A and B are shown apart, each in its own frame.
Chain A
Amino acid sequence: MSAYPSLAPFVAKRPWLRSFLKPVANWYANAAGYRQLGLRADDLITEECEDTLKALKRLSPQEAYDRVYRIRRAMQCSVSHQLLPQEQWTKAEEDVPYLVPLIEQIKAEAKEKEDLDALTIVKNH
């Protein structure tokens, strides 16, 4: 479904591999530095794209407000060259995808439309 090839589904299906790689993934996410600015991974998705814009409109008012708050706070940190105090860092369990499911839903809709536009009818009689 996603635009680039991913090993994530392969890993997610195998519990032993998943438990082996999970600490590595957590280390990588922490090292990426966005959690120290109070952001979530989905806040980093580029906004200049039709699907994302549509998905942003479909967020609930609370989610949309929280997203704007996180981004503004991170901007402020970036401008003042500081990190947030450690108790305000995003925890691993808070870093859940909230936008990706919506984008996937929108992509699925577009794909269904494309498929229906390109369908050929076979009469079975």
Chain B
Amino acid sequence: MFSRTALSRGTQLAARGQASSKLAQRRGYAAAASAPSSFIYDTTDVAGVKVATRDSHGPTTKLAIVAKAGTRYQPAPGLTAALEEFAFKNTEKRSALRITRESELLGGQLTAYHTREALVLEASFLREDIPYFTELLAEVISQTKYTTYEFNEDVERVLQIKQARLAANVAALALDSAHSVAFHTGLGAPLYPSPSTPLKGYVDEHKVASFAESVYAKSNIALVGDGATTTALSKWTEQFFKSVPASAASVNSASTTYYGGESRTAHKGGNSLVIAFPGSSFGTFKPEVAVLSALLGGQSNVKWAPGFTLLSKIAAANPGAVASATNLAYSDAGLFTIQISGAAGAVRATSQEAVKALKAIAEGTVSKEDLTKAVAKAKFDALAGSESGINTLLAAGSGLVHTGKPFQIAETITSIEGVTADKLKAAAKALVDGKASVAAVGDLHALPYAEELGLKV
């Protein structure tokens, strides 16, 4: 027999069609005038540790320690990556194997990753296990042993595998060299050391241990809980974070300057071109850049069609290339990037078209309809990004450690709504007239110079 719902669903829908359309008209579209309160992180200071929590009353919790220890703050190349690998290794109290097995038994997942600014140790688990994982995270940052044999047998081996993987990834290499010409030191440091980076003398277990000592301190970390109540997390933090040292030794924290320039690297594994401009940072959010990146876009929102975004239309006209525009936001600087990857010829044609499109925006040729679509897309991206996922933990945590209050992506949507055609034109003009950062990796015979694209470097 067919189930009742399966049989009658179509007819029910047909019968209700008229009524429901009226209902929808009467109600209007759901309007997210401001961010819902469940998106906002509450911050407290528990015994010197900055804690941010947000409770959506779900069955699972994500708890993360966000430390100001990204590649920007590392005193020597490779230290952040090595410290990341040392997460959840042997501690004074228990072995790495025991940590893994115990969290498996509780159904938890442990991950460690780093960005240019933050090193994140993250645990996802069932709501009732919060005491166990709070204790574990505190133990990992304060009592890891950093033994020589683990460095030789595990950490260094994995580092080399990851370096080899990076060497084949032209898109990541191009993004790294765009950062390095844009910011030189600090944010310009590569996210992962390439295989040709000399690490000897810079990275060993003693250097990693002293780096850990300088960054894993209460003043330098934030504890972010997504799906945990403030009371519960405060209680356990107070109990377990006693052993974490109070203040950090000074980390390299020079403010970022944008330089701009061009870098070209020959590579056999593919072609990637990054055109970058100073973008919007967490500290000073520029809504025009958010709208500009939504307008240039790259990823289609509809099936079987390039969609409205300019880059996806250009890429569709030049088969063989993929283009996308993103704003990479950091605490005191941002990088608005257009990345084009694919076959060398197609990358060349697409990049020329992309710069033409950007210049056209700077001359104010964007249709009103496209602008509306772009504003809506930018708003959606901001809200969807703050709904769940690693972005929210990362943004809240890096905000806390850098400025003392979390960056709430969702709060930016009101300013996005205020972007007009004139503002967008002015912002695009400032980018095109300013210095660009152009990084080409791949077949240099075919990939264009910044000068050919009509950009100043």
Contacts and interface: CB of A to CB of B under 8 A. Distances in A.
A116 B97 contact: yes
Contact of B101 (A58, A60, A109, A116): A116
Contacts of B98: 112, 116
Chain B interface size band reads under 10
B148 A112 contact: no
A22 interface: no
A113 interface: yes
A112 B148 CA distance: 20
A80 to B, nearest CB: 37
Contact of A121 (B97, B105, B153): B105
A112 B149 contact: no
A109 B148 contact: no
A68 B148 CA distance: 21
A53 to B, nearest CB: 13
B132 to A, nearest CB: 15
A58 B105 contact: no
B265 interface: no
B95 A109 contact: yes
B241 to A, nearest CB: 27
A112 B90 CA distance: 13
Contacts of B105: 121
Nearest to A116: B101
Interface string A70-103: 0000000000000000000000000000000000
B90 to A, nearest CB: 9
Interface residues of A, number: 8
A117 to B, nearest CB: 9
Contact of A60 (B95, B97, B148, B153): B148
Contacts of B152: 57-58
Interface in B64-110: 95, 97-98, 101, 105
B284 to A, nearest CB: 51
B149 A58 contact: yes
A109 B97 CA distance: 9
Contacts of B95: 109, 112
Nearest to B101: A116
B163 to A, nearest CB: 22
Interface in A31-81: 57-58, 60
A12 B148 CA distance: 30
Interface string B331-362: 00000000000000000000000000000000
A66 to B, nearest CB: 17
Contacts of A57: 149, 152-153
B349 to A, nearest CB: 54
Interface in B231-253: none
A22 to B, nearest CB: 33
B97 A113 contact: yes
A54 B97 CA distance: 18
Query: Of B95, B97, B98, B149, which is in contact with the most chain A CB atoms at under 10 Å from its CB?
Result: B149
A110 to B, nearest CB: 10
A92 to B, nearest CB: 29
Contacts of A121: 105
Interface in B132-153: 148-149, 152-153
17 contacts: A57-B149, A57-B152, A57-B153, A58-B148, A58-B149, A58-B152, A60-B148, A109-B95, A109-B97, A112-B95, A112-B97, A112-B98, A113-B97, A116-B97, A116-B98, A116-B101, A121-B105
Interface of A: 57-58, 60, 109, 112-113, 116, 121
Given A57-B153, A60-B148, A121-B105, 14 more contacts: A57-B149, A57-B152, A58-B148, A58-B149, A58-B152, A109-B95, A109-B97, A112-B95, A112-B97, A112-B98, A113-B97, A116-B97, A116-B98, A116-B101
The 5 A-B pairs with the shortest beta carbon distances in the complex, nearest first, are A58-B149, A116-B101, A113-B97, A112-B95, A112-B97
